[in-house]
Structure 1
Amino acid sequence: MENIEQIYTGCLAQGAYYIESEGEVAIIDPLREVKPYIKRAEEDKARIKYIFETHFHADFVSGHVTLSKETGAPIIFGPNANPSFDATIAEDGQEFSLGKLTIKVLHTPGHTMESTTYLLKDETGKDYAIFSGDTLFLGDVGRPDLAQKAADMTQEELAGILFESLRNKIMPLADDIIVYPAHGAGSACGKNMMKETVDTLGNQKKMNYALRADMTKEEFIKEVTEGLLPPPQYFPLNVKMNKEGYEDIDTVLKRGTQSLGPAAFEAAANETGAVVLDVRHQEEFAKGHVPRSIFIGLSGSFAPWVGALIADVEQPILLVAPEGKEEETITRLSRVGFDGTLGYLEGGLEAWKKAGKEIDTVDSISADVFKQRLDNKIPVFDVRKETEYAAEHVEDAILTPLDFLNDHLAEFPEKETFYVHCAGGYRSIIAASILKSRGIHNLVDVAGGFKAIKEVGIPVTDFVCPTTLKK
């Protein structure tokens, strides 16, 4: 169907949807910056008629509030939603006409209690596609632990409700129906998502462990709740913003794009307690950066790492960004609710150095040099995820996952030199910046990470044994 466009944002592993028929448009789960949707509708000589939300998102701030304000289109949630702003709370089975198409509400609680799947019917009334939000992913289903406090239920109770939703509302649908999920591989909203972003329901019934026809509810609850890592700390704060509203993105951009000379930048950092966030490439950061600044580069999974590591969406932020990337950075921060950017360093690090300000560096070595030094028994810290470490790791390396680095600070040597590596070099520089901001400077980064380590023939193992460093 030519009327549907999936607008996929790789950094967030998030899918928003634009559906048009006969000059009428529905947007499902829009991102924070809404101008692209408005512009697209104008190009189609169409009007945005509905804004559908599948649930109160935890991993990003949706653009529903601003989009409704700018277009007059109503925001539609499924049953059980109770937002602080005006919205249509649809009933299970309620239908909305969109040109020649129809969108039917299927209440599918379990990931959250308001979670809703939207079933799109074509002009003949035939079921064509589902927009499944976080209820059904490709290869997985939404984790049932995020709404425990709000719903006053255990994750096992929510998983049981999700089982019923899938069996009663999703699985009876025809195999040729297209599944458009809210997220793909890389999102923290599930465990085993496929890298593909569109599939048929029939293929999911074959491929997705959670849709096995012979699965009991007890088996489903066990498998869905098994191996869930703690959610990032910013998730509840994003839910709150999606439920209660937020500032317009234009206001956030205007405040954040203030250029500050080195003296004003330093004064702002001292007076406001702002985090200095450096978003350049990791190699540039290693060569020189503002002391105690945190590195999270735009080239990686920027917004989720900001959310996981800075955590407090109200934290003031000052930026060191590549020239011309300031607005993009502020926009991407706002997608996960970080609206407190106060300005950026005009002229970047070069201006900082010319002003005679102090700079810091990260000691970084190649995998070849690392191989030569390994015989010295210097401790090695691996900041990848547990699953990556379990698959393969440097012998005797100590696992300190970046997501939870602050929980491992006591394990790093106080004086002895140690090495830090990740998979490819991005996360280890993030880790190095956090450690240095905490006063831990006796570290050496292994450039190129585990990929480079394997290429030079350093011995690795898949033997997993809990390893902690005794000081």
Structure 2
Amino acid sequence: MDVAIIETSGLGDRSYLVAHDGVAVVIDPQRDIDRVLDLARERNVRITHVLETHLHNDYVTGGLDLSNIVGAEYAVPAGDDVGYPRRAVADGDVIDAGPIQLEVLHTPGHTHHHVSYVLRDSGGDVHGVFTGGSMLFGTTGRTDLIGPEDTEELTRAQYHSVHKLADRLPAATPIYPTHGFGSFCSATPASGDESTIGEQRTTNPALTQDEQSYVDELLAGLSAYPAYYAHMGVINSEGPQPADLTPPEPIDPAELRRRIEAGEWVVDLRNRTMFAAGHLQGTLGFELSGSFVSYFGWLYDWGAPVTLIGESRDQIADAKRELVRIGVDRLTGAATGDIDDLRDGAPLGSYRVADFAQLAEARSAETVAVLDVRQTHEFEQEHIPGAANIPLHELPGRLGDVPAGQVWVHCASGYRSSIAASYLDRAGHDVVLIDDAFDKAGELGLTKQ
């Protein structure tokens, strides 16, 4: 029984292809299904079933498209109201894929109708369990995505669902979660890259705490999640369109300038320090790296046309793939090449990049305005005294709250602050980007808890 992991690190998620004796089953595929089809061809297997553990909140599923293309049965949890034909699966059902058998367990918590799938061979031996957003590595899926009125009920359900999995399955059972590798669908950060039911019995808070302690701790620890999540459930229930990965139309510098001056979403994908050194004034800097798609989706004006600026066509293609995973489909053009060749005669914008040691030096000489764009709970744990805290996702609506004068902006690593710096620069602020790890601020004695 071969379980192949299809990693989507930008969203912190995993999809799976289970293969045995020429047959394959896919669990929780992302929208860009070419990766799944390529893997099936490599293993010379036929996909007979596509399974969803739940209607996803953090990405657009490729399950419907994949099942249509390969002629597979498409299984979605019973109770989820969807606008397309599917097999509605409920607790106790068995997905019969010949040499691969999957038992459905209703494991509510992340959503009301969430299910897990116990993987067995034709002889009944357990080979793993696909837990979606239920039992994760050292944590559980968050329970506040349906609505505040459901959160406590779902949190208690999550506790019992994790116990259900732990009680029914052997200790050696590998667990294969969809979320928990940096996903905001995780209640708290997950730990490790693999695990078993036995390990989770000693490390997972849902299994090491009593119910009330677990509920209290999870509810107290819930933080903000990306705004684009509000659109994912709707798209996934109505039935997503297939992913279009064709390159955006190339545009010339004059058209690029027109779009910037019209206030459109023109996004520069280059490295944050390259953007700071020289960029087209009026553009936003979203470095194409690990956290790109989550923060883009969080700040994006949903449905607005997007123009991308990149160093190469490959960079544009990578960005488009990430964006279509969350349903950002209005990519109306792209420009590549040297930024100096794209400016259409207009002067480039720029701002200073510094580290925390330079901030400490500046603070010793004068009063310096510091803007911390981490989330509120991060700020409350430890921060620089006198710093203003405006979480990145609130910044576009709170530019009037930004301190006057030169503003030194930081986060935990430099990524969020680089996006914030581009917003501040576009709004006319004199900004200094602190591109440094926040731990350095503590080492320099700049912080208090």
1:5 CA drift (Å): 0.9
| Superposition map of 1:410-421 within 5 A | 410-414=400-404, 416-421=405-410
Asked if structure 2 preserves the Cα contact closer than 8 Å seen for 1:171 and 1:211, the reply is no
Residue equivalent to 1:194: 190
Asked if structure 1 preserves the Cα contact closer than 8 Å seen for 2:61 and 2:240, the reply is no
Asked if structure 2 preserves the Cα contact closer than 8 Å seen for 1:138 and 1:184, the reply is yes
Matched, 1:405 2:409: no
Residue equivalent to 1:14: 13
SS of the counterpart of 2:308?
strand
Residue identity in the other structure for 2:292: F
Asked if structure 1 preserves the Cα contact closer than 8 Å seen for 2:90 and 2:104, the reply is yes
Asked if structure 1 preserves the Cα contact closer than 8 Å seen for 2:251 and 2:334, the reply is yes
Asked if structure 2 preserves the Cα contact closer than 8 Å seen for 1:184 and 1:196, the reply is no
| Superposition map of 1:421-436 within 5 A | 421-436=410-425
Q: Distance in 1 between matches of 2:238 and 2:102?
A: 26
Could you list the per-position Cα deviations for residues 310-362 of structure 1 after superposition, in whole angstroms to 9, with x for gaps in the alignment? 152x1211001121211111011111111111110143523213x31332112
Could you list the per-position Cα deviations for residues 336-393 of structure 1 after superposition, in whole angstroms to 9, with x for gaps in the alignment? 111111110143523213x313321123234443232112111211222344434443
Asked if structure 2 preserves the Cα contact closer than 8 Å seen for 1:234 and 1:311, the reply is no
Q: Distance in 1 between matches of 2:66 and 2:380?
A: 44
Residue identity in the other structure for 1:56: L
SS of the counterpart of 1:141?
coil
Residue 110 and residue 325 in structure 1: after superposition, are their counterparts in 2 closer, same or farther (change >3 A)? Answer: same
Residue 30 and residue 285 in structure 1: after superposition, are their counterparts in 2 closer, same or farther (change >3 A)? Answer: same
Residue identity in the other structure for 2:159: F
Residue equivalent to 2:56: 57
Q: Distance in 2 between matches of 1:77 and 1:116?
A: 9
Residue 100 and residue 382 in structure 1: after superposition, are their counterparts in 2 closer, same or farther (change >3 A)? Answer: same
SS of the counterpart of 1:5?
strand
Asked if structure 1 preserves the Cα contact closer than 8 Å seen for 2:23 and 2:97, the reply is yes
Matched, 1:211 2:207: yes
Matched, 1:181 2:181: no
Structure 1: state its 5+ residue gaps: 464-471
Residue equivalent to 1:261: 252
Q: Distance in 2 between matches of 1:403 and 1:191?
A: 19
Residue 402 and residue 338 in structure 1: after superposition, are their counterparts in 2 closer, same or farther (change >3 A)? Answer: same
Asked if structure 1 preserves the Cα contact closer than 8 Å seen for 2:27 and 2:53, the reply is yes
Q: Distance in 1 between matches of 2:63 and 2:257?
A: 36
Match of 1:361 among 343, 350, 375: 350
Matched, 1:281 2:271: yes
Residue equivalent to 1:466: none
Residue identity in the other structure for 1:257: P
Residue equivalent to 1:156: 152
Could you list the per-position Cα deviations for residues 242-262 of structure 1 after superposition, in whole angstroms to 9, with x for gaps in the alignment? 111233223xx33x5211111
Matched, 1:292 2:282: yes
Residue equivalent to 2:305: 316
Asked if structure 1 preserves the Cα contact closer than 8 Å seen for 2:372 and 2:410, the reply is yes
Asked if structure 1 preserves the Cα contact closer than 8 Å seen for 2:407 and 2:431, the reply is yes
Q: Distance in 1 between matches of 2:448 and 2:121?
A: 51
Residue identity in the other structure for 2:253: P
Q: Distance in 1 between matches of 2:338 and 2:306?
A: 15
Residue identity in the other structure for 2:360: K
Residue 75 and residue 266 in structure 1: after superposition, are their counterparts in 2 closer, same or farther (change >3 A)? Answer: farther
Q: Distance in 2 between matches of 1:406 and 1:61?
A: 25
Q: Distance in 1 between matches of 2:164 and 2:242?
A: 39
SS of the counterpart of 2:304?
coil
1:162 CA drift (Å): 2.3
Matched, 1:301 2:274: no
Asked if structure 2 preserves the Cα contact closer than 8 Å seen for 1:384 and 1:401, the reply is yes
Residue identity in the other structure for 1:92: D
Residue equivalent to 1:106: 105
Structure 2: state its 5+ residue gaps: none
1:233 CA drift (Å): 1.1
Identify the range of structure 1 (169-178 vs 337-346) with the bigger mean alpha-carbon deviation. 169-178
SS of the counterpart of 1:103?
strand
Matched, 1:130 2:129: yes
1:54 CA drift (Å): 0.7
Asked if structure 2 preserves the Cα contact closer than 8 Å seen for 1:178 and 1:199, the reply is yes
Q: Distance in 1 between matches of 2:261 and 2:407?
A: 31
Asked if structure 1 preserves the Cα contact closer than 8 Å seen for 2:182 and 2:190, the reply is no
Q: TM-score scaled by structure 1?
A: 0.89
| Superposition map of 1:437-452 within 5 A | 437=426, 439-452=427-440
Residue equivalent to 1:468: none
SS of the counterpart of 1:69?
helix
Q: Distance in 2 between matches of 1:169 and 1:220?
A: 17
Could you list the per-position Cα deviations for residues 263-292 of structure 1 after superposition, in whole angstroms to 9, with x for gaps in the alignment? 122334556x53011111001100111212
Residue equivalent to 1:171: 167
Identity %: 29
Number of residue-to-residue matches in the alignment: 447
Residue 420 and residue 183 in structure 1: after superposition, are their counterparts in 2 closer, same or farther (change >3 A)? Answer: same
| Superposition map of 1:327-366 within 5 A | 327-353=317-343, 355-366=344-355
1:144 CA drift (Å): 1.3
Asked if structure 2 preserves the Cα contact closer than 8 Å seen for 1:183 and 1:197, the reply is no
Matched, 1:221 2:215: yes
Residue equivalent to 2:41: 42
Q: Distance in 1 between matches of 2:341 and 2:390?
A: 35
Residue 54 and residue 348 in structure 1: after superposition, are their counterparts in 2 closer, same or farther (change >3 A)? Answer: farther
Asked if structure 2 preserves the Cα contact closer than 8 Å seen for 1:417 and 1:442, the reply is yes
SS of the counterpart of 2:7?
strand
Identify the range of structure 1 (423-432 vs 13-22) with the bigger mean alpha-carbon deviation. 423-432
SS of the counterpart of 1:461?
coil
Could you list the per-position Cα deviations for residues 79-122 of structure 1 after superposition, in whole angstroms to 9, with x for gaps in the alignment? 21221112111132111122422111111112111211011013
Residue equivalent to 1:77: 76
Residue equivalent to 1:233: 227
SS of the counterpart of 2:349?
coil
Residue 45 and residue 359 in structure 1: after superposition, are their counterparts in 2 closer, same or farther (change >3 A)? Answer: same
